[in-house]
Amino acid sequence: KNHNLWNIFKLKLPTKWLVEYSNDSNFAKIYMDSKKNFSFLAEKFDIGLSNSLENKDKAVEKLIQEITKEVSISEAKLKKSENNNYLFYFIASEKESKDSKKVIQNKIWYRIKVLQNKIVIISAVFELSSTIDLENKIYLEKLDQIIGASEILV
pLDDT recorded at residue 116 = 83
> Hey, what amino acid is at 94?
E
The answer to whether the pTM exceeds 0.85 is yes
pLDDT recorded at residue 52 = 64
pLDDT recorded at residue 124 = 96
Q: pLDDT per residue over 64-89, tens digit each? A: 999 898 889 999 999 998 788 899 99
* 138-151 CB burial, b ≥16 within 10 A, e <16: ebeeebeebbeebb
Contact by Cβ (8 Å): 41, 125: yes
For the chain, list residues with pLDDT below 70: 52-54, 99-100
pLDDT recorded at residue 129 = 86
pLDDT recorded at residue 31 = 95
pLDDT recorded at residue 49 = 80
